[in-house]
Chain A
């Protein structure tokens, strides 16, 4: 069943929704990257919660005008209006008053959402409101969707993705280096505005699929995941788009195939799984590789100190040091060096003595700064310089 869904074999509506979700996921991943790089990830949380009163108001207005109130385009338009208002208030509070941005975000988020809940309870008492199904906007529900709604979602997701692609270059520049962008004549304030508009579009389109509580995850998790795999902004954008697209696609497919699987949470959990894998396994910033690097460093320090102790005939009490030396065949179990160990120990001591002289001589200040007790001096100084040092060691002693 899940396989059918992944291969788009579950009927026309489910296919449309799944493709729409994938397009939206890509747009969210790319758009979210700029938000993440500008360190404003949680602004999207305020925007998404601020959609609720808009959805409710749009429903009420459409019912009053004699419609059935469930027209998706109308509901999304209402959502966009209050979400935009919420965004303006966040900006106003954090620039025009002394409140910090996080307080402004939290205030807008909770107040708009609370007001939305009030409106939802009003709608429940309206005669037309019994089957409004507006709760589906909280957590996303794509089950039993009308064909027209599925079409709206797929088309608007495609449009959002096109918009993201269109704005990609100026956004990359502004989020990577705003000052440089300004010096090139780019209006960064306007670019920021475009970025927030993009986030708004993603949020509104994602309402029906992911739901307003969790859409923020689709904007935050993919860029954070992508950041583990590369240091380059343009690559982060690409990988984030990929992660977002795959998560939304797989999540929407699973949700369509398995009963009682709300779409939004599944999509979020799929993307979180990708995040967790990246956190553990990414080659440079991952936890596993960091642990391995730490172990390797620890071993080098122990070996070096052990060799120095051998060279000076000192006893070795540290078990780990002794074990490492034995495993390499440089020392016997009682701490006596083997012939090979003796040779290496002598070399290590010579290196250390050379370093000590280098570190005392101001003429070698630059080289001395690279001393960490591990780097062989041959990798820092030229053979001529080492000869110079050696001659002075001989003279001094």
Chain B
């Protein structure tokens, strides 16, 4: 395919998909190891009331108020889950189920009750986004990448996601040792003076930032899939955290690229005219990767601590 077609239509969604996938998979590694995998699920549900409230307050669908609203909602949810768990002495899974379903229900209700007919805000969009719509209209080919005028019209989601990815990578690199130690042996981490509670909270906040930034571009379903599937598949490939993170990044990128390509061109290969949801397809491909790892992964079994082969 020529650059004249690829750059305006596919480059931006493809890159955005890759950035989202990696930004979610990195914190996902630690969440999966800490058995907090469903936090991503909870966060991506509660983002909806946050952006609806932000919309009702400002009356427009603009970036910053929405991000703030979503982040606020994520914070409310974390506090709420912790509160229900402690005050009611309720197991954390159930506490999570109570809070995120109630907040999501509240968001849907607010959305249905308010007049959103002239803006692009609905439940379906929140669930599976619209990656395909991120087209770069002013691009004419690869040369546009050096053209300041064309770059100015780049869809805002791409640079935002790139910044988020840089932030997530920085967090992972800077806090690598504390994260690793506290994930595998929290007691030891505490005895050498680490603030494991704070670190755990920071991890959840970073995950929330990645989820919130990704959410607007690609919807919540891909966020949940990328938090869990690539790290879980990577977990079945190796016993070393460094390699697991590397595998998860590879899996995330493969899922994003293949998912986008299959969604856009797969139906054409099969003789259909229209493309299918890219977000849904990326989630599906990540599931296939996890399935393959679960059947063939060298470290798929419990207790396979010794290297196989």
Q: Which of B41, B89, B101, B112 has the most CB of A within 10 A?
A: B101
Say yes or no: A103-B284 contact (C-beta < 8 A), given A41-B91, A125-B274, A228-B88: no
Instruction: Type the 1/0 row for A335-377, where 1 means its CB is closer than 8 Å to any CB of B.
Output: 0000000000000000000000000000000000000000000
Interface residues of A (CB under 8 A from B): 36, 39-42, 45, 92-93, 96-100, 102-107, 109-118, 120-122, 125, 135, 138-139, 213-214, 216-217, 220-221, 223-224, 227-228, 260-262, 264-266, 268-269, 272, 275, 279, 285, 287, 290
CB distance from A207 to the nearest CB of B (A): 15
Chain A residues contacting B91 (CB-CB under 8 Å) are 36, 39, 41
Q: Which 9 pairs, one residue from A and one from B, show the smallest C-beta to C-beta distance?
A: A114-B283, A111-B287, A117-B280, A217-B101, A110-B225, A265-B105, A220-B97, A268-B105, A272-B102
A34 to chain B, nearest CB (A): 13
Please give the distance in Å from A96's CB to the nearest CB on chain B: 8
Q: Find B105's partner among A106, A272, A275 (CB 8 Å cutoff).
A: A272
Q: Is B118 part of the contact surface with A, judged by Cβ < 8 Å?
A: no
User: In the bound complex, how far is the Cα of B276 from the Cα of A115, in angstroms?
Assistant: 10
A106 touches B38 (CB 8 A): yes
> Are B229 and A107 neighbours in the complex by a CB distance under 8 Å?
yes
Separation of A20 and B23 alpha carbons in the complex (Å) = 44
Q: Secondary structure of the B side of the interface?
A: helix
Q: Does B120 contact A (CB under 8 A)?
A: no
14 new A-B contacts, CB < 8 A, other than A114-B283, A138-B123, A221-B97, are: A41-B97, A45-B97, A98-B304, A99-B232, A99-B294, A100-B37, A107-B229, A118-B280, A121-B274, A122-B267, A125-B273, A217-B101, A265-B104, A265-B105
Question: Do A103 and B228 touch across chains, with their CB atoms under 8 A apart?
Answer: yes
- Given known A111-B229, A121-B277, contact A265–B106 (CB-CB < 8 A): yes
Q: Is the CB of B84 within 8 A of A279?
A: yes
Inter-chain CA distance A98–B228, complex, in Å, is 14
Chain A residues near B263: list those with CB within 8 A: 118
With beta carbons under 8 angstroms apart, the residue of B109, B280, B281, B294 that contacts A269 is B109
A115 and B87 contact, CB distance less than 8 A: no
Tell me the residues in window 254-277 of chain B with beta carbons closer than 8 Å to chain A beta carbons: 263, 267, 272-277
Task: List the A side residues contacting B101 at CB < 8 Å.
Answer: 214, 216-217, 220-221, 268, 272
Partner of B280, one of A40, A115, A125: A115
* B215 interface residue (CB < 8 Å to A): no
Interface size class of B (residues with CB under 8 A): 35 or more
Q: B228 contacts A217, CB within 8 Å?
A: no
Name the one of B41, B88, B286 contacting A224, with C-beta atoms under 8 angstroms. B88
Interface residues in chain B, defined as those with a beta carbon under 8 Å from any beta carbon in chain A: 32, 35-38, 40-41, 45, 84, 87-91, 93-98, 101-102, 104-106, 108-109, 112-113, 123-124, 127-128, 221-222, 224-225, 227-229, 231-232, 235-236, 263, 267, 272-277, 279-284, 286-287, 290, 294, 297, 299-304
Contact status B105-A107, CB under 8 Å: no
Are B105 and A125 closer than 8 Å at their CB atoms? no
Interface pairs (7), CB distance under 8 Å: A97-B236, A110-B287, A111-B286, A221-B102, A261-B109, A268-B102, A272-B105
Q: Which residues of A contact B267 (CB under 8 A)?
A: 122
A115, A138, A266, A290 pick with most chain B CB within 10 angstroms: A115
Give which listed residue, B36, B88, B112, B280, contacts A121 with CB less than 8 A.
B280
Report the Cα distance A133→B38, complex, angstroms: 30
Is B97 touching A118 in the complex (CB atoms < 8 A)? no
On whether the beta carbons of A264 and B105 are closer than 8 Å, the reply is yes
Taking a contact as CB atoms under 8 Å apart, the answer to whether B98 and A275 are in contact is: yes
Q: Which residues in B have their C-beta under 8 angstroms from that of A116? A: 280
Nearest-neighbour CB distance to chain B for A67, whole angstroms, equals 21
Docked-complex contact B102 and A269, CB < 8 angstroms: yes
Supposing A41-B94, A115-B284 touch, asked if A138 and B127 sit within 8 A by C-beta, the answer is: yes
Whether A114 touches B235, Cβ cut-off 8 Å, given contacts A138-B127, A213-B104, A217-B102, is no
Bound form: Cα–Cα A375–B284 in Å: 64
Q: Which of A93, A109, A125, A261 contacts B112 (CB 8 A)?
A: A261
Task: Collect the chain A residues with CB atoms within 8 Å of residue B102's CB.
Answer: 217, 221, 268-269, 272, 275
